Structure 1
Amino acid sequence: MSQGRSIRLFLVDGTPSGLLTAEIINWSGHVLTGPRSKFAELVQRPECGRTGVYFLMGPDPDGSPLDRVYIGESDDVARRLKEHNQGEHLGGKDFWERACLVTSKDLNLTKAHVKYLETRLIRIAKEAGHSIVINTADRIYDNLPESDQADMAFFLEQIRTVLPTLGLGFLREVTKPSQLQETSSVSMKMVTHSPVFELTSKNRSITAYGQEVNGEFFVLKNSYASEEWTSSPHSYQTLFERVVKEGALSAPENGTRRFIDDYAFNSPSAAAAVVLGRNANGRTSWTVKDSTLTYAQWQDEQVAAMDQPEADLALTE
């Protein structure tokens, strides 16, 4: 079981839509984030005058369902943000709607440190695939002593922990079900997973398999799905269209599509809806492979198993 952590959040102006700071107990890093509408207040913060790394996030103007992100570093973050706030014709960036910067409370981050962090962060964000990283070049900076590299590895781990809690998930590590077989690349102690589930639609020749890993429900690679949305308009129709647009599903063939790779959904119902091309209750549609046990029944068994030790203890008292 992984170790718990405490994160301290502070609403600078008392509103959740304004500037926000975040810190992890016993970590020297400091995170500041805010919307572009609060740009004037943001760049006046003392953190912006420090050495650090920063992120610019916003929707893709070309219509991709993935957001864009730009990752940079500076020994004067405020100056760089002011440059990015200019129009495209002046060398700025128009797409971003939110900025986030990570600095150090003890002021021990150097220019070399943040260049090293920038290199790693760009690589991680591209590999994660949650966003479109618009940095034009893959910078490679490894010119740090071994001890400093170890310190920055820990610093980087904390960044990847705190940013998703702020709704910034572009660095979030995802363990796919296919990786569970690659024990050399995945720390199995940090991974929780369910049995494999199955979903079928016999009249449409659709069979899909799913598995829950670290709280995310994946439809497995080579599972089949509906060619198109076949029911009345629903919020899941937008999700279906997004999955198709991302290229996660193959081109139609004989009335079905196929998942190109393991694909994560936020619930079994969302996964079932995309597979079937209509609204569906995933808690009853998915069944444990080679059994009639539904996802809901399987989950109830997990709760009962967790409660059993307490019941056994009560009987011995």
Structure 2
Amino acid sequence: MKQGKSIRLFLVDGTPGGIVAAEIMNWTGHVIAAPRSRLADLLRRPELARTGVYFLTGDDPDNVGRTRVYIGESDNAGKRLGQHNRGEDAGGKDFWDRVVVVTSKDANLTKSHARYLESRLIAIAGEAGRAGLVNGTAPEYGYLPEADIADMEFFIEQVRIVLPVLGLDLLRERPRVAAAPANPVASPLFELKSPKHRLAATAREVDGEFVVLAGSGARRAWGGSAHAYRALRQQLLDAGTLVAHDDERLEFSEDQAFSSPSAASAVVLGRADNGRLSWKAAGGGQSYADWQNAHVAAATEKETV
């Protein structure tokens, strides 16, 4: 069983939309996030004069609902962010509207450490595939002693825990569906069938995400009215996650995580759909909604005993 983590969030100016600092108990790292509109205030913070890595994030104009990110490092994060705030024609970056800076409370991060972190974080973000990377390739990080590499890998694991708490999933590992059956609270295998379109899809809920499994079928074309899920479907086509199977069907080339059963069923059926009712447990026919309600009822009964 995974152990819990204690994360301390501090709203620097008392508002959730302002500057937010985050720390994990017994970790030397320090994370601070702010909207670009508060960059001037952020740069006054002493942490910004330290060595560290940073994430510039913003909406991806080419993919609705998707985030773009640039990951960098500096021995003076504040100075580098000031450079990034310039216009594109002056060597800056225009796309970002939020920044997250990761430094160390004990000031023991060196330039070599930061270069290692930058390289690994770019590689992890690319592998996760949850955001569009502005970085071209991960730079070479140079040599680090074996003990330092071990320390930095632990540092990275803590960053991967904190960022989702701040609303950034870009380093979050893809759900490992193969491991789901060993999890006592993992979902059953769900099925979605459409005899009319001769297709079937399977999925599991893993770590809070609804994952459609590789090999599942999907309708060849969007057949419903305009909907936000239509853009999501097109993104999966463009990314090669959905590929042509025959004249009527597409197929998932890899496992794909969705935020909800309805998002998954809409992509599969090519129209808006209530996936809580459409997805059925394999063998039993219980809908996703019934399965979830049964778990909630069982937990409620346990609390009242």
**Is the structural similarity TM-score above 0.5?**
yes
Q: 2:262 aligns with which of 266, 269, 275?
A: 269
Distance in structure 2 (CA, Å) of the matches to 1:297 and 1:40: 51
Contact 1:192 1:214 in 2 (8 A): no
Structure 1 range deviating more: 160-169 or 6-15:
6-15
Structure 1 range deviating more: 17-26 or 287-296:
287-296
Cα 1:39/1:298, change in 2 over 3 Å: same
> How far is the alpha carbon of 1:301 from its aligned partner?
4.0
Contact 2:175 2:211 in 1 (8 A): no
One-letter identity of the residue aligned with 2:247: N
Q: Secondary structure at the match of 1:221?
A: coil
Match of 1:248 in 2: 241
Match of 1:292 in 2: 285
One-letter identity of the residue aligned with 1:227: R
Q: 1:218 aligns with which of 202, 211, 223?
A: 211
Q: Deviations over 1:226-253 (max 9, x none)?
A: 2222223344334334433443212473
Match of 1:56 in 2: 56
Match of 2:106 in 1: 106
One-letter identity of the residue aligned with 2:221: E
> How far is the alpha carbon of 1:157 from its aligned partner?
0.8
Structure 1 range deviating more: 100-109 or 250-259:
250-259
One-letter identity of the residue aligned with 1:94: D
Structure 1 range deviating more: 35-44 or 228-237:
228-237
- Which blocks of at least 5 consecutive residues in structure 2 are unaligned? none
Match of 1:115 in 2: 115
Contact 1:176 1:218 in 2 (8 A): no
> How far is the alpha carbon of 1:127 from its aligned partner?
0.8
Cα 1:37/1:244, change in 2 over 3 Å: same
Contact 1:35 1:97 in 2 (8 A): yes
Q: Deviations over 1:141-164 (max 9, x none)?
A: 252222222221211111000001
Contact 2:112 2:142 in 1 (8 A): no
Q: Secondary structure at the match of 2:43?
A: helix
Distance in structure 2 (CA, Å) of the matches to 1:295 and 1:103: 43
One-letter identity of the residue aligned with 2:157: E
| TM score, norm. by length of structure 1 | 0.87
Q: Secondary structure at the match of 1:54?
A: strand
> How far is the alpha carbon of 1:208 from its aligned partner?
0.8
Contact 1:226 1:255 in 2 (8 A): yes
Contact 1:192 1:213 in 2 (8 A): no
Match of 2:179 in 1: 180
Q: Secondary structure at the match of 1:47?
A: helix
| TM score, norm. by length of structure 2 | 0.90
One-letter identity of the residue aligned with 2:220: E
Equivalenced residues, count = 304
One-letter identity of the residue aligned with 2:179: L
One-letter identity of the residue aligned with 2:99: A
Q: Secondary structure at the match of 1:250?
A: strand
> How far is the alpha carbon of 1:303 from its aligned partner?
4.1
Distance in structure 1 (CA, Å) of the matches to 2:166 and 2:303: 35
Match of 2:165 in 1: 165
Distance in structure 2 (CA, Å) of the matches to 1:7 and 1:279: 38
Cα 1:90/1:192, change in 2 over 3 Å: farther
Match of 2:29 in 1: 29
Match of 2:229 in 1: 236
Distance in structure 2 (CA, Å) of the matches to 1:310 and 1:47: 45
Q: Secondary structure at the match of 1:10?
A: strand
Match of 2:250 in 1: 257
Q: Percent identity?
A: 52
Match of 2:72 in 1: 72
